[in-house]
Amino acid sequence: NQLSANVQTSFIEYKELSYLREQLKFSFIIILTLVLLFSIFSAVWAAFYSARTLAAPIKDLAQGTRAIAKGNYNTKLPVPSNDELGFLVASFNDMTDKISQARDTAKSSQKESESQQIYLETILSRLSSGVIVFNEDGKIEKSNISAAQILQIEVAILNKKNIDDLINNFPKLKIFFECISNN
Protein backbone atom coordinates (compact mmCIF):
# COMPACT_ATOMS: atom_id res chain seq x y z
CA ASN A 1 0.00 0.00 0.00
CA GLN A 2 2.80 2.31 0.92
CA LEU A 3 4.55 1.54 -2.37
CA SER A 4 1.40 2.15 -4.31
CA ALA A 5 0.92 5.51 -2.57
CA ASN A 6 4.51 6.47 -3.38
CA VAL A 7 3.99 5.56 -7.03
CA GLN A 8 0.73 7.52 -7.03
CA THR A 9 2.43 10.56 -5.46
CA SER A 10 5.36 10.35 -7.82
CA PHE A 11 3.02 10.13 -10.81
CA ILE A 12 1.08 13.21 -9.64
CA GLU A 13 4.33 15.12 -9.09
CA TYR A 14 5.48 14.04 -12.55
CA LYS A 15 2.25 15.30 -14.09
CA GLU A 16 2.64 18.65 -12.28
CA LEU A 17 6.24 18.99 -13.38
CA SER A 18 5.32 18.01 -16.90
CA TYR A 19 2.54 20.63 -16.93
CA LEU A 20 4.83 23.25 -15.40
CA ARG A 21 7.56 22.35 -17.86
CA GLU A 22 5.32 23.35 -20.77
CA GLN A 23 4.45 26.61 -19.01
CA LEU A 24 8.14 27.23 -18.28
CA LYS A 25 9.07 26.59 -21.93
CA PHE A 26 6.31 28.93 -23.04
CA SER A 27 7.53 31.62 -20.62
CA PHE A 28 11.13 31.25 -21.83
CA ILE A 29 9.99 31.53 -25.47
CA ILE A 30 8.07 34.73 -24.70
CA ILE A 31 10.96 36.23 -22.74
CA LEU A 32 13.52 35.34 -25.41
CA THR A 33 11.23 36.69 -28.12
CA LEU A 34 10.85 39.98 -26.24
CA VAL A 35 14.61 40.18 -25.70
CA LEU A 36 15.20 39.51 -29.41
CA LEU A 37 12.64 42.16 -30.46
CA PHE A 38 14.14 44.67 -28.02
CA SER A 39 17.63 43.90 -29.37
CA ILE A 40 16.48 44.36 -32.97
CA PHE A 41 14.71 47.61 -32.09
CA SER A 42 17.80 48.87 -30.24
CA ALA A 43 20.06 47.96 -33.17
CA VAL A 44 17.79 49.72 -35.68
CA TRP A 45 17.54 52.80 -33.44
CA ALA A 46 21.33 52.85 -32.94
CA ALA A 47 21.83 52.56 -36.72
CA PHE A 48 19.51 55.49 -37.44
CA TYR A 49 21.02 57.58 -34.65
CA SER A 50 24.57 56.87 -35.86
CA ALA A 51 23.63 57.60 -39.46
CA ARG A 52 22.00 60.89 -38.47
CA THR A 53 24.98 61.82 -36.31
CA LEU A 54 27.46 61.01 -39.08
CA ALA A 55 25.38 62.66 -41.81
CA ALA A 56 24.77 65.93 -39.92
CA PRO A 57 28.20 67.47 -40.69
CA ILE A 58 27.89 66.40 -44.33
CA LYS A 59 24.41 67.95 -44.50
CA ASP A 60 25.82 71.15 -42.96
CA LEU A 61 28.61 71.16 -45.55
CA ALA A 62 26.07 70.78 -48.35
CA GLN A 63 24.02 73.70 -47.00
CA GLY A 64 27.19 75.76 -46.55
CA THR A 65 28.22 75.02 -50.13
CA ARG A 66 24.82 76.15 -51.38
CA ALA A 67 25.17 79.37 -49.36
CA ILE A 68 28.63 79.98 -50.85
CA ALA A 69 27.26 79.33 -54.33
CA LYS A 70 24.61 82.01 -53.70
CA GLY A 71 27.33 84.50 -52.68
CA ASN A 72 27.06 84.36 -48.88
CA TYR A 73 30.76 84.16 -48.02
CA ASN A 74 30.20 84.77 -44.31
CA THR A 75 28.91 81.21 -43.78
CA LYS A 76 30.51 79.53 -40.77
CA LEU A 77 29.87 75.90 -39.87
CA PRO A 78 30.27 74.47 -36.36
CA VAL A 79 33.22 72.05 -36.13
CA PRO A 80 31.66 68.80 -34.85
CA SER A 81 34.78 66.94 -33.67
CA ASN A 82 38.50 66.40 -34.20
CA ASP A 83 38.11 63.58 -36.72
CA GLU A 84 38.22 63.70 -40.50
CA LEU A 85 34.82 65.36 -40.79
CA GLY A 86 35.86 68.01 -38.29
CA PHE A 87 39.00 68.66 -40.35
CA LEU A 88 36.86 68.94 -43.49
CA VAL A 89 34.49 71.43 -41.83
CA ALA A 90 37.43 73.46 -40.48
CA SER A 91 38.96 73.51 -43.97
CA PHE A 92 35.62 74.68 -45.37
CA ASN A 93 35.53 77.52 -42.85
CA ASP A 94 39.12 78.52 -43.76
CA MET A 95 38.20 78.46 -47.44
CA THR A 96 35.19 80.74 -46.90
CA ASP A 97 37.38 83.14 -44.91
CA LYS A 98 39.91 83.31 -47.74
CA ILE A 99 37.19 83.76 -50.37
CA SER A 100 35.66 86.54 -48.30
CA GLN A 101 39.03 88.26 -47.90
CA ALA A 102 39.74 87.90 -51.63
CA ARG A 103 36.32 89.37 -52.46
CA ASP A 104 36.93 92.30 -50.11
CA THR A 105 40.38 92.87 -51.60
CA ALA A 106 38.94 92.76 -55.12
CA LYS A 107 36.22 95.25 -54.20
CA SER A 108 38.71 97.65 -52.64
CA SER A 109 41.01 97.30 -55.68
CA GLN A 110 38.09 97.96 -57.98
CA LYS A 111 37.10 101.06 -56.00
CA GLU A 112 40.68 102.30 -56.05
CA SER A 113 40.93 101.65 -59.79
CA GLU A 114 37.68 103.51 -60.41
CA SER A 115 38.81 106.46 -58.33
CA GLN A 116 42.15 106.54 -60.21
CA GLN A 117 40.22 106.37 -63.50
CA ILE A 118 38.02 109.29 -62.47
CA TYR A 119 41.07 111.22 -61.29
CA LEU A 120 42.86 110.61 -64.61
CA GLU A 121 39.80 111.62 -66.63
CA THR A 122 39.44 114.78 -64.55
CA ILE A 123 43.08 115.72 -65.13
CA LEU A 124 42.85 114.94 -68.86
CA SER A 125 39.71 117.03 -69.27
CA ARG A 126 41.31 120.05 -67.55
CA LEU A 127 44.54 120.02 -69.57
CA SER A 128 44.83 122.57 -72.34
CA SER A 129 47.38 120.35 -74.12
CA GLY A 130 46.10 117.55 -76.28
CA VAL A 131 46.69 114.08 -74.82
CA ILE A 132 46.22 110.79 -76.69
CA VAL A 133 46.90 107.46 -74.97
CA PHE A 134 47.55 104.36 -77.09
CA ASN A 135 47.41 100.72 -76.02
CA GLU A 136 49.81 97.97 -77.16
CA ASP A 137 47.69 97.18 -80.25
CA GLY A 138 47.87 100.73 -81.58
CA LYS A 139 44.32 101.64 -80.58
CA ILE A 140 43.59 104.93 -78.90
CA GLU A 141 42.57 104.18 -75.32
CA LYS A 142 41.92 107.73 -74.17
CA SER A 143 42.06 111.21 -75.45
CA ASN A 144 41.03 114.51 -74.00
CA ILE A 145 38.82 117.25 -75.38
CA SER A 146 41.85 119.40 -76.22
CA ALA A 147 43.29 116.67 -78.48
CA ALA A 148 39.95 116.34 -80.27
CA GLN A 149 39.77 120.11 -80.74
CA ILE A 150 43.37 120.31 -82.02
CA LEU A 151 42.77 117.45 -84.49
CA GLN A 152 39.27 118.74 -85.28
CA ILE A 153 37.71 115.33 -84.60
CA GLU A 154 34.98 114.43 -82.13
CA VAL A 155 36.18 112.70 -78.96
CA ALA A 156 33.77 109.79 -79.52
CA ILE A 157 35.24 109.15 -82.97
CA LEU A 158 38.81 109.48 -81.72
CA ASN A 159 38.55 107.04 -78.80
CA LYS A 160 38.77 103.28 -79.37
CA LYS A 161 39.91 103.67 -82.96
CA ASN A 162 42.94 102.18 -84.63
CA ILE A 163 45.55 104.52 -86.15
CA ASP A 164 45.09 102.93 -89.59
CA ASP A 165 41.33 103.62 -89.45
CA LEU A 166 41.97 107.24 -88.54
CA ILE A 167 44.46 107.62 -91.42
CA ASN A 168 41.87 106.23 -93.85
CA ASN A 169 38.99 108.34 -92.49
CA PHE A 170 40.93 111.59 -92.04
CA PRO A 171 43.47 111.99 -94.87
CA LYS A 172 44.43 115.50 -93.71
CA LEU A 173 45.87 113.92 -90.50
CA LYS A 174 47.73 111.18 -92.39
CA ILE A 175 51.20 112.61 -91.78
CA PHE A 176 50.50 113.13 -88.07
CA PHE A 177 49.24 109.58 -87.48
CA GLU A 178 51.97 108.04 -89.65
CA CYS A 179 54.59 109.75 -87.46
CA ILE A 180 52.91 108.31 -84.37
CA SER A 181 52.57 104.81 -85.85
CA ASN A 182 56.25 104.72 -86.85
CA ASN A 183 57.26 105.36 -83.23
Q: What is the pLDDT of residues 114-151, one digit of tens each?
A: 999 888 878 877 777 888 887 877 788 788 888 888 88
Confidence class for position 182, pLDDT limits 50, 70, 90: low
Count Cβ atoms below 10 Å from residue 124 Cβ, excluding itself: 19
**Does the predicted model carry a pTM greater than 0.75?**
no
Q: Are 165 and 181 in contact (CB under 8 A)?
A: no
Q: What is the pLDDT of residue 128?
A: 77
